[in-house]
Chain A
Amino acid sequence: MTSYITRRILLAIPVLIGLLVVTFFLVRLIPGDPCTAILGEKATPAACRSFDQRYGLDDPIPVQLVIYVKQIFQGNLGDSLQSSRPVTQIMVERLPLTIELTVTALFLAVLIGIPLGLLSARRHNSAADVATMTFANIGVSMPVFWLGLLLQYLFALILKDTFFALPPSGRLSAGVLPVPFYEVWGWAVNTHTMWGGFLEFIGEFAIFNAFITGDWHLLWDAVTHLILPGIALATIPLAIIARITRSSLLEVLGKDYIRTARAKGALERRVVAKHAFRNAMLPVVTIVGLQLGLLLGGAVLTETVFNLSGVGKSLYEAITARDYAVIQGFVVVIASGYVIVNLLVDISYGFLDPRIRYE
């Protein structure tokens, strides 16, 4: 088991290096040079020379790559070409929102998708099953951004002034200013240190921050702003999870050992809960892990529709502005996260199903 995990991690390293190198070159293939894109009319040849020198863009590309890799190991992702701020700083501000959004969506998808799938499989071919699967088929076919716009229309216009009204966009209501928990608790924090940066990062999780500081008004505001984007982003994964749960449970329920359990007189509830559920969950876990990629892609669209300044929107803006450093940093972090989550999913198989042999 340990040797399997070690081997798995070692195998992930070339993929991560590949991601890094591919991103590095892909970013430099984007047509148009950063200097003209960012300085605009002020981009005289002299200004561009000093700009390129300042950001190391006048070095040969292989040298740039070596410098970049060195920096990464020092926890430095370079400075944004646009705002001259460290990419890590931008990430501290933007990543928490996207994490909150994707985690909310994933929670919704799992908490609703799995029970729907189970229900559907247990009442195979019933009206509930047909309804669930119709819903699932429509769910996977819906454009995220369209669903987002429809939800805005429904909850912010049609249901306006009712109990169900929800804010159409933004992270918090206008005028609401969250105070980070370390300030509430009177800690002296220097955000330029590693530890301070980490605390700042944690403080940027609006929901979590409001919760631990006990600011219920702020918590409510943050949660209500995340509901619609969360639903929009969750719909496709929810439908996929419901379908996989259903087909997987149906397959397991057809196995011999289930028939044995039933023949022994076990209650149907017990057969499903004790004998079938765990085995049926294996493919579901894989799919949940894979949804992360889908969620991150969907986050770009959701953040655009709901006007949220998260990673997706920053990445999109960085691409338009040819901000190499930001694009690189974000893509490397996102892709590494994706590879690592899938690694964890693979490893978790062993704990879910001891029959799996790691050769």
Chain B
Amino acid sequence: MSGVPHNPDGQPLTVDQALVNINQTTDPGLRYYAAWWLGKMRVCQPEAVAALLLALKDKTDRSPDGGYPLRRNAARALGKVGHGHDDVIPALLVCLDCDDYYVRETAAQALESLGDAAAIPALVAMVRGGVAAAVQVSGKPHLVQPYNAILETLGTLGSRDLVPVISPFLDHSVPQVNNAAARAMYQITGDAQYAERLVAMLGHDQLQLRRAALMDLGAVGYLAGADAIANTLAENSMKLIALKGVLEHQIGDGSDAVTLSAESRRVMALMDSLL
């Protein structure tokens, strides 16, 4: 059935079929699904990356609000499969100027997972107006830029010289934004006061914010927060993911020579209790 788009509701997709689907334009739904699937299955081969780069420039698949759904999926997938391909970072940097807020957001997240510091200047430029410019777009459920994603990526990729860029957002009125700033500040300075702001959020009234703080603490691997994570009022699944982040950060690199400190055992004992 070569050349024939494959119905995602039928048989499981194969790599070959996904490549056929993403390279056709007759059925936008199949193309959209294939872009997601290639990332999900981490298909890193050059044909897949090339097809995703093409999808990143797509003009045909438009949502009612003028967005580019296919570009969003392609950007997300490239964050998973784009390592080691020279064209991917420049293409994602172009996406940071896209009209579609969600394309910009996904591109910033993809740049974080690809871990290339070359993205820093473009991301800094996006938040240049500081807190004063970080206002809601009228009629939309979001701010003018995807500040959470940008700040998180800067925290992961950047260093201490970004303190003046990031720290003003600690006082932003949107809790998600000042969480992202606290997370980034902790990553670039190692100063526990910023991680403790996230620990404090574990006691927030809103479940969504407690969950977000769990994910942030897991992402930065804040060991002193382990007990607070285990005691948060949220699903065990989320707490386990957060503690996994703490544990893996504690153990360090992914080498096989795992040496277990008393702290690592303590984190695992907490995880055991949540199974």
Binding between chains A and B: no
Q: Which of B's residues lie within 8 Å of A, judged by CB?
A: none
